[in-house]
Amino acid sequence: MAEKWVLMVTAQTPTNIAVIKYWGKRDENLILPINDSISVTLDPQHLCTTTSVAVSPTFTHDRMWLNGKEISLSGGRYQNCLRELRARASDVEDEEKGIKITKKDWEKLHLHIASYNNFPTAAGLASSAAGFACLVFSLAKLMNVKEDHSKLSAIARQGSGSACRSLYGGFVKWIMGKEENGSDSIAVQLADEKHWDDLVIIIAVVSSRQKETSSTSGMRETVETSMLIEHRAKEVVPRRIIQMEKAIKDLDFPSFARLTCSDSNQFHAVCLDTSPPIFYMNDTSHRIISCVEKWNRFEGTPQVAYTFDAGPNAVLIARNRKAAALLLQRLLFYFPPQSDTDLNSYVIGDKSILQDAGVHNMKDIEALDSPPEIKDSTPMQKYKGDVSYFICTRPGRGPVLLTDETKALLNAETGLPK
């Protein structure tokens, strides 16, 4: 009788936002960067990937479904991750189900993978980071790969560079490494998510029509054409990494904010220094920067840090809940929703920040007073509809296994998407 069993694992993995940016590779295939980077992991309750992986002798080839649609696994990045994991797989035995897989069996057994992002894919919210980290983490569990998270991060890195930082919660450093084979280009945790739990993160998802240059091709063009990038990678980032690690260790928000904002601005400056120039931020992004800069200056000490990846969305890190509530008031004042938008879908995630801001309905938004830092400046403008929505979140934990079968994305009997 042919064996019919299906063995399955489900995991959940967060996304992350870099506060010292990775931009530029020294090896395109292995995905080796030209500088270290540091990120904050975002709470998976609000932004995460869930992935189920299954193995069965009845599967005829490796297959993957992303957000319900079958996608091809033939791309080099998926193939590199699968190859690295298969090479490290170990024996697996489940006596209850009568399953016995030896290390060698993994070479010929096929896999089914189903993944779901609880936020828009390829919208500049780092779906590839959470996605590849989750793929590697869940497959490593299924295949009984006996390696620590750092070693797994080096595999996730080959799916997407920033993915290696999603193997940990809290604050994470991706060490660029020196080896040609990439073995020392790994992520390490600097501090867990409880270390600095005052921080609140608000993401402004900015409406954008045009399709941006992907990170992969953008950074390739920068390395090929920008003169500034070498100075950044060799001189600026190494110093900033040391300062940023200290700021995180000391919970020093003013230093953290200055470094985060400067590094985001320098990343966008090297994009502008690329030929042809790459524009990731738009007018709305620039208005958000001005709003934060004016407010920080008015307060005399930073209340909020901003950072932008390869797109117009703003990631705003507030020093505490009080600053986050004041920030949300400002954001809603400048960027009120369209009249037909429901407040409940305009501010998502941790809605308690909205309560703290004293905003319960659309009338409360209309009644918001102009911020004191712009009281005297005229004319004062509002930009209705320029932000699609806001996500309120915080630093979060690393990958976890989900044991609740109802969370699985594949059917336990057939191994096909539910």
Chain positions contacting ligand ATP, by CB under 6 A = 49, 66, 115, 117, 121-128, 131-132, 135, 214-215, 309-311
Tokens of 45: 């309750």
Of 14, 41, 306, the C-alpha closest to 189 is 41
Q: Which is nearer to ligand DP6, 288 or 353 (CB)?
A: 288
Of 274, 107, 304, the C-alpha closest to 204 is 304
Q: Closest-CB residue for ligand DP6?
A: 161
Q: Compute the least distance from the CB of residue 309 to ligand DP6, in Å.
A: 4
Q: Which is nearer to ligand ATP, 128 or 393 (CB)?
A: 128
Q: Which is nearer to ligand ATP, 16 or 303 (CB)?
A: 16
**How far, in Å, are 244, 259, 264, 356 from residue 255 at the CA level?**
8, 6, 14, 26
Q: Compute the least distance from the CB of residue 15 to ligand DP6, in Å.
A: 10
Report the partner that residue 127 touches, choosing among ligand ATP, ligand DP6, none (CB closer than 5 to 8 A by kind). ligand ATP
Report the partner that residue 22 touches, choosing among ligand DP6, ligand ATP, none (CB closer than 5 to 8 A by kind). ligand DP6
Contact 204, 335 (CB under 8 A): yes
Contact 19, 263 (CB under 8 A): yes
CB neighbourhood size of 124 (10 A): 19
Tokens of 79: 């193939």
Query: In this structure, what DSSP letter does residue 368 have?
Result: P
Q: Which is nearer to ligand DP6, 102 or 183 (CB)?
A: 183
Report the partner that residue 122 touches, choosing among ligand ATP, ligand DP6, none (CB closer than 5 to 8 A by kind). ligand ATP
Q: Which is nearer to ligand ATP, 336 or 349 (CB)?
A: 349
Report the partner that residue 37 touches, choosing among ligand ATP, ligand DP6, none (CB closer than 5 to 8 A by kind). ligand DP6
Give strand pairing partners of 336: none
Report the partner that residue 66 touches, choosing among ligand DP6, ligand ATP, none (CB closer than 5 to 8 A by kind). ligand ATP
CA angle 158, 45, 186 (to 5 degrees): 25
Q: Compute the least distance from the CB of residue 174 to ligand DP6, in Å.
A: 8
Q: Compute the least distance from the CB of residue 77 to ligand DP6, in Å.
A: 8
Q: Closest-CB residue for ligand ATP?
A: 131
- DSSP string of 201-246? EEEEEE---SPPPPHHHHHHHHHHH-SHHHHIIIIIHHHHHHHHHH
Tokens of 401: 């296994």
Report the partner that residue 31 touches, choosing among ligand ATP, ligand DP6, none (CB closer than 5 to 8 A by kind). ligand DP6
Q: Which is nearer to ligand ATP, 124 or 349 (CB)?
A: 124
Tokens of 205: 């998802």
**For the chain, what percentages of helix, strand and coil (3-state, to nearest 5) are there?**
35, 20, 40
Report the partner that residue 205 touches, choosing among ligand DP6, ligand ATP, none (CB closer than 5 to 8 A by kind). none
Provide the Cα torsion 277, 306, 235, 213; round to 10°. -30
Rounded Cα gap, residues 368 and 359, in angstroms? 9
Q: Compute the least distance from the CB of residue 243 to ligand ATP, in Å.
A: 25
Which three-class secondary structure state does DSSP give residue 324? helix
Rounded Cα gap, residues 364 and 329, in angstroms? 10
Q: Which of residues 19-58 bind ligand DP6 (CB under 6 A)?
A: 21-23, 31, 37
Provide the mask over 151-170, with x wherever binding to ligand DP6 is found by CB under 6 A and - wherever it is not: ---------xxx--------
Q: Which is nearer to ligand ATP, 127 or 303 (CB)?
A: 127
- Amino acid occupying residue 309: D
Q: Which is nearer to ligand DP6, 253 or 308 (CB)?
A: 308
Q: Which is nearer to ligand ATP, 73 or 362 (CB)?
A: 73
Q: Which of residues 291-310 bind ligand DP6 (CB under 6 A)?
A: 309-310
Tokens of 58: 């009845």
Report the partner that residue 354 touches, choosing among ligand DP6, ligand ATP, none (CB closer than 5 to 8 A by kind). none
Q: Is the dihedral of CA 313, 30, 163, 248 positive or negative?
A: negative
Compute CA 319 distance to the chain's CA centroid, rounded to the nearest angstrom.
Answer: 20
- Amino acid occupying residue 5: W
Q: Which is nearer to ligand DP6, 31 or 332 (CB)?
A: 31
Tokens of 235: 């001189």
Would you tell me which residues interact with ligand DP6 (CB under 6 A)?
18, 21-23, 31, 37, 128, 160-162, 215-216, 309-310
